[in-house]
Amino acid sequence: MATDPFLLFDEWFAEARASELNDAEAMALATAGADGEPSVRMVLLKGHGPTGFVFYTNERSAKGDQLAENPNAALLFHWKSRRRQVRVEGRVERVTDAESDAYFATRSRDSQLGAWASDQSRPLDTRTTFEARFEEVKQRLDGQDVPRPPHWGGYRVIPDRIEFWSDRPHRLHERRLFTLVDGRWSEGLLYP
């Protein structure tokens, strides 16, 4: 076997980007806070490689709070058109401010402004309140570059397990599991 899981992910991701109708980079992110209660939501993959899988968010969001309490997470990519999925489990670390700044600069202006206007995951009385906050931020920063909010940044999931699942007829699926042991990847199979 001895395949590099990151090279295999690159292959599968490229194939998914060519065949998925929408958001091949969409991934389910599962976290749990100190209370151990799990929570899952969709986020977008914004970088990947041997150092891990990167996404960005408001650090004061529910997921940001949970990651501060318990820096471990699981990811799931499900590419229905390819009949494949990839599961990733590992510890989480913050990306550098420079990485967060560089990615934030690539976002649309409205997305940048929204990062300032939104108290992500917090209760909102009416949509009108959020829209008014967005307009206030838009006017305040008119004609200026939008800086990255100090509470907004990236996280990297550094995997210690990566599973590649392929659909097969009659539920006789193929499951390849890569496990990090003493700094090296070991590969094995799992029963379907």
Q: Is 43 exposed, middle or buried (0-12, 13-18, 19+ CB in 10 A)?
A: middle
Known active-site residue 94: no
Catalytic residue among 41, 127, 168, 171: 171
Q: Which of 154, 156, 158, 157 is nearest to 97 (CA)?
A: 154
Computed on alpha carbons and rounded to an integer, the radius of gyration of the chain in Å comes to 19
Nearest to 51 by CA among 185, 162, 180, 156: 156
The residue type at 23: D
Which residues does the annotation mark as catalytic? 171
